[in-house]
Amino acid sequence: MSAGGSDGTADRPADLAADGECPEQAGSSLPAAELPRKRKGDVEERSGTHGQQSVDFQMDDDLSRSEGEDQQVKMKCFREPHRQIEKRRRDKMNTLIDELAAMIPACQPMARKLDKLTVLRKAVQHLKALKVGTGSAFTDTTSKPSILSHDDLKHLLLRAVDGFLLVVSCDRAKILFISESVSKILNLSRLELTGQSLFDFIHPKDINKVKEQLSSSEYPRQCLIDAATGVQVQVDAPARPPLLSTGARRSFFCRLKHSRVVGKQDKHFLPCTSKKKDSSRYCTLHCTGYMRSCPSSQLDSECDGEMESSDLSCLVTVCRLLTPVSHQPPKELTIRPSEFVTRWAIDGKFTFVEQQATTIIGYLPQEVLGTSCYEYFHQDDLLHLADKHRQVLRSKEKIETRCYKFKTKYGSYVSLQSQWFSFTNPWTKEVEFIVSSNQVISGPGHTKDEEAGNSKALQEDTKQIPIIPGLSSGLGTMIYAGSIGTQIANELMDSYSRMNSSPSSGACSPFGPAQEKCPVVSPLTSTSASSREEASGSSSQSQCDSRTAAGASSATSESLAAVSRININPIQGETSQLDLDLVPGLSSFSSDEAAMAVIMSLLETDVNMGQSGDFEDLHWPF
Amino acid sequence: MKADKEKRRMISRDAARRRRRVESEVFAELSRLLPLQQSVQDHLDKPSVIRLTLSYIRMHTLLKGITGKKAEASHAVKCEQVMESGEEWRGCDRGRDDEEKKTDDVEASEETNMFLRILEGFLIVLSTEGDMIYLSDNVSKYMGLTQTELMGHNIFEFTHPCDHEEIRNNLRLTAEEVWCGAKRDFVMRIKGALTHRGRSSNLKSATWKVLHCQGRAKVCVAPSSVSCLLLTCQPLPLSHTLLSTHTFTSQHSMDMRFTYCDQRITLLLGYSTEELLGRSIYDLCHTLDTNCLTKNHLNLCLKSQSVSGQYRMLVRGGGYVWVESHSAVIPSVRPSKSRPGAHQPLCILCVTYVLSGVEEPSLQLSLDQTVHRYLR
């Protein structure tokens, strides 16, 4: 055999196109596209390390075993998938070569496509040229060779993480070390901060919190979470609190002073500062890290009068600026004055009213909360709005109403137009509430005359009871505004209970006339909530069970099918405050998957814990 | 006749052999030029060599704009200083001397290593198509696969299919976003080839690992403007973190209704723990943050872990506080080792950090806050 590379293809049968494609050398290659589910003798899905040779052997075996026509057929069946594997490998290699050619300046101006060998040779030249350019970064023999120089890595890391490294002593929160990147985050130089007390820069209200995180020996009640059971573990402080020892993890948020000029990207919807005498600006940082004890000889000499050779406890953290959440309005902080958002329960009763509403409807939120929205709708609009109400409860879409009149506190009406969206709990798939985004429609102003005219019209109209389909029975019962919403809600609840529970639940038909005039239904009462929870709990249980029965593979395909309907990503650049298009809700996913993921992640937590303590070999940069 | 055929076949075989040999030699030369340890270089297969070469070139192009400028700038400053002090100008034209460079480099490397260690995550540079151009070498600690095994591959080969759409959306970068350094923050599931003892297994027995990815877009100024995403990926540990007084834990059923809440919520938000049981978290939060909560909830249902981002929880007497929750789905009963895969009732465990003081304490926005409670 010739030297230079494994040349096992010399014996390959002639009908396999051989353009010099060598079998891959044994090594760390991972053609990860083929998720291995290997079985011996399975030609289809081999990862390719020894594929060639074993296939050859198998084919030989086959040849000797079968005879006649069967032999031909069997060989063909064997080679087909093998040919495909070969083809895939070749295609992949060709793609890689093309990509390489695209990246190398020397290869680009060529009109025709270059052959593989030439591209490779040019790549070699290019790498040599690059090495000369970068100088000593790669000729440094003491440090491990790596794709990126440390400087470059540092630069990239800091760009990705808006943060800095901070080491503080535990006793007085003295800043022992802070990385240079702090100047970008807080606009304070590293020099002015090193050696100072951290408390000088923390928001006054967070000082206690940080104190606690630094020295837990003073706080006897230490709460930890045991992730396996979710139980809080109370640990009474022993003589040498284990939490203070090396490896104990810390994670907390705190606000630090900064003197950054507020730029365009800084308009976060983050906690605002107290607008009192102290006009400092604060930014919120997430600090995660570990406790570490370090011999004080490594620290600067200021404190060596007091401490001799005793170990000093300190906290090493990475402080990271919080990502401004992208679906909150980053650009316009001011909310348009003619818009407000409300939330109602499924029966139309207000459960949440934004403060801007007051300027528009005159009522304070607390005056309106708990009352039905139907009490404020103009009679002319009741029919239309009830219809939309019914629609929104059954639809996953945003429902837009026509322009309608809303009664203000002073008796006049304001013209509004709203978008309603029903929020469905992702797990139970039941509607929990409706969110309404309301805009004032400016038109001809509501003058006093008009109001008088309106109220007259109202008086006339009250003679005529509006017929709302499905609600009024022919018995001529007076429809109270509030009951409209309740009725519609009941219809929905009935449809849920019909769907979920057994036939013995005795649910009444949704469109039957109300036997009781105004059934007191509020899905938010704890009793009904808990019974609903039970119902939904058991229903989701039964749904889970049926899915389990269906098998894991169908569950996966279900969730795969659901992907097309999910759009979790909030990055849409919408200017509207409440992006109601965002989450239409899931149609299906498998709770088995959730269970499996949980088990796996629990196994991971063991790994994480094991990693907490290996700081012995850290060489301190100061 | 047959002899002719045979002869021709032999010639072509020899030619092919020669071609392959030359090709292997070029591959070997290329792999030796890669800045990797020799032991790694020797074991690379051909596609890997190309992948790593591509990564190396791409990273170089990406960083060329920055490091070139930086080196020039610091060099210029140094020369100025030398001039001012009137000292003899000795060999400034070659840049700073090697000794200094080395110390700087060592410092940078220590700081970066420590940073990555404390951050408990790895760095990944993604192209807009999802190619993992670069990964920091500590990736092996989290994924069980080494830097050289992963670099150059596409991230979609390693992540859960149901997360692909979300990842694709996050990779999409408009020109404006790139120039502003737009940020990204999402959770995804990636293959992890680690055993529960922390040892590397192989891809065959890979399990899904949940990673929280945060970072921003980056563009390189050089000729071909390449934009990519820089992300740090961290697993989300919940265990054994000391919780401060401004934090409370709660447990919820899968529909996010409270099943348990620790007492600290009373001090922080004013609700008694009993009145919360059975209440949905969606009722207790500002309506404008519904989307944030829904996204969090969906992440939990699909991926079993989530970080919520900041949202507002309403305080009992009025007003609200900004909070952030880190949550995970856990079995409500301790899993038995003997039946790991069995179907178990699940619940959600949340650790909620209060970020701010009470804002607008006189504002009553929701039903729960009003003095005269409508309910019950």
List domains and CATH numbers for chain B. Answer: 39-62+119-235 (3.30.450.20), 247-334+344-369 (3.30.450.20)
More confident position, A493 or A519 = A493
pLDDT at B221 (0 to 100): 59
**Nearest-CA distance from A59 to chain B in Å?**
21
Confidence of residue B22 (pLDDT cuts 50, 70, 90): very high
* Least confident segment among A504-518, B42-56, B101-115: A504-518
- Is A212's CB within 8 Å of B244's CB? yes
Spatial separation of the C-alpha atoms in residues B319 and B358, rounded to whole Å: 6
pLDDT at A159 (0 to 100): 84
| pTM tops 0.90 | no
Which residues 261-300 of A have a C-beta within 8 angstroms of B? 264-265, 269-272, 274, 284, 286, 288-290
pLDDT at B313 (0 to 100): 92
More confident position, B364 or B208 = B208
Spatial separation of the C-alpha atoms in residues A193 and A246, rounded to whole Å: 25
pLDDT at A290 (0 to 100): 84
Q: What is the DSSP letter of A480?
A: P
Contacts of A473 (CB under 8 A, 6+ apart): A513, A514
Spatial separation of the C-alpha atoms in residues A366 and B369, rounded to whole Å: 8
pLDDT at B59 (0 to 100): 84
Contacts of A444 (CB under 8 A, 6+ apart): A450
- Is A608's CB within 8 Å of B25's CB? no
- Is B241's CB within 8 Å of A30's CB? no
Spatial separation of the C-alpha atoms in residues B188 and B229, rounded to whole Å: 15
**Beta-strand runs (E) in chain B:** 122-127, 132-135, 183-192, 207-219, 227-235, 241-242, 247-252, 258-261, 305-314, 320-331, 346-354
- Is B153's CB within 8 Å of A560's CB? no
CA atoms within 13 A on the CB side of B155: 27
Which residues 211-230 of A have a C-beta within 8 angstroms of B? 212-213, 216, 222-230
Contact B201, B209 (CB under 8 A): no
Spatial separation of the C-alpha atoms in residues A305 and B333, rounded to whole Å: 54
Residue with tokens 């808006």: A162
- Work out the mean pLDDT of chain A and round it to a whole number: 63
Mean pLDDT of A18-39: 39
* Least confident segment among A468-482, B41-55, B214-228: A468-482
Contacts of A209 (CB under 8 A, 6+ apart): A252, A254, B244, B245, B246
Chain B residues whose CB is inside 8 A of the A350 CB are: 367
Contacts of B248 (CB under 8 A, 6+ apart): B261, B262, B264, B265, B268, B351, B352, B354
Contacts of A369 (CB under 8 A, 6+ apart): A350, A351, A352, A353, B364, B366, B367, B370, B374
Residue A579 pLDDT greater than 90, yes or no: no
Chain B residues whose CB is inside 8 A of the A223 CB are: 242-243, 249, 262
* Least confident segment among A253-267, A449-463, B194-208, B249-263: A449-463
Spatial separation of the C-alpha atoms in residues A557 and A564, rounded to whole Å: 12
**B190-194: long-range contacts (C-beta < 8 A, 24 or more apart)?**
B190/B143, B190/B158, B190/B159, B190/B160, B190/B233, B191/B143, B191/B158, B191/B159, B192/A604, B192/B142, B192/B143, B192/B144, B193/B143, B193/B144, B193/B145, B194/A604, B194/A607, B194/B142, B194/B143, B194/B144
| Closest Cβ–Cβ partner in B118, B216, B279 for A160 | B216
ipTM given for this complex: 0.82
Answer positive or negative: Cα dihedral of A548, A554, A555, A558: negative
Longest dimension (CA), chain B: 106
- Tens of pLDDT along A409-431? 888 889 999 999 999 888 888 88
Measured CA to CA in angstroms, residue B373 lies from A282, A365, B123, B368 at distances of 36, 13, 51, 7
Contact B313, B284 (CB under 8 A): yes
- Tens of pLDDT along A323-370? 655 434 333 334 566 888 899 998 889 999 988 888 888 888 888 888
Residue A192 pLDDT greater than 80, yes or no: yes
| Partners of A512 in beta bridges | none
Q: Which of A220, A210, A207 is nearest to A252 (CA)?
A: A210
- Tens of pLDDT along A529-547? 333 333 333 344 434 333 3
Which residues 11-30 of A have a C-beta within 8 angstroms of B? 14, 18, 20, 22, 24-30
Rounded to 10°, the helix A552-563/A591-610 angle is 90
Spatial separation of the C-alpha atoms in residues A475 and A190, rounded to whole Å: 81
* Least confident segment among A16-25, A182-191, A306-315, B223-232: A16-25
Q: What is the DSSP letter of A15?
A: T
Measured CA to CA in angstroms, residue B138 lies from A1, A98, B231, B375 at distances of 41, 30, 14, 54
Residue A471 pLDDT greater than 80, yes or no: no
* Least confident segment among A133-137, A508-512, A576-580, A598-602: A508-512
Q: How far does CA A54 lie from the centroid of its chain?
A: 46
| Closest Cβ–Cβ partner in A162, A253, A364 for B324 | A253
- Tens of pLDDT along B287-313? 888 888 999 999 998 888 999 989 999
Classify residue B150 by burial, with Cβ atoms within 10 Å: 0-12, 13-18, 19+. Answer: buried
- Is A7's CB within 8 Å of B17's CB? yes
pLDDT at A100 (0 to 100): 86
Spatial separation of the C-alpha atoms in residues A511 and A490, rounded to whole Å: 10
- Work out the mean pLDDT of chain B and round it to a whole number: 80
Type and span of the H or E element at A256: strand A249-258
Measured CA to CA in angstroms, residue B243 lies from A596, B240, B274, B321 at distances of 28, 9, 22, 18
Spatial separation of the C-alpha atoms in residues A463 and A478, rounded to whole Å: 11
Spatial separation of the C-alpha atoms in residues A305 and A303, rounded to whole Å: 5
Mean pLDDT of A262-269: 46
Spatial separation of the C-alpha atoms in residues A599 and B337, rounded to whole Å: 10
pLDDT at A147 (0 to 100): 77
Contact A376, A564 (CB under 8 A): no
N-terminal to C-terminal alpha carbon distance within chain A: 58
Q: Which of A481, A477, A485 is nearest to A516 (CA)?
A: A477
- Is A156's CB within 8 Å of B340's CB? no
Spatial separation of the C-alpha atoms in residues A288 and A250, rounded to whole Å: 6
Q: How far does CA B267 lie from the centroid of its chain?
A: 35
Phi-psi region of A444 (alpha: psi -120 to 50; beta: other; left: phi over 0): beta
Contacts of A196 (CB under 8 A, 6+ apart): A174, A175
3-state helix, strand, coil in chain B (%, to 5): 45, 25, 30
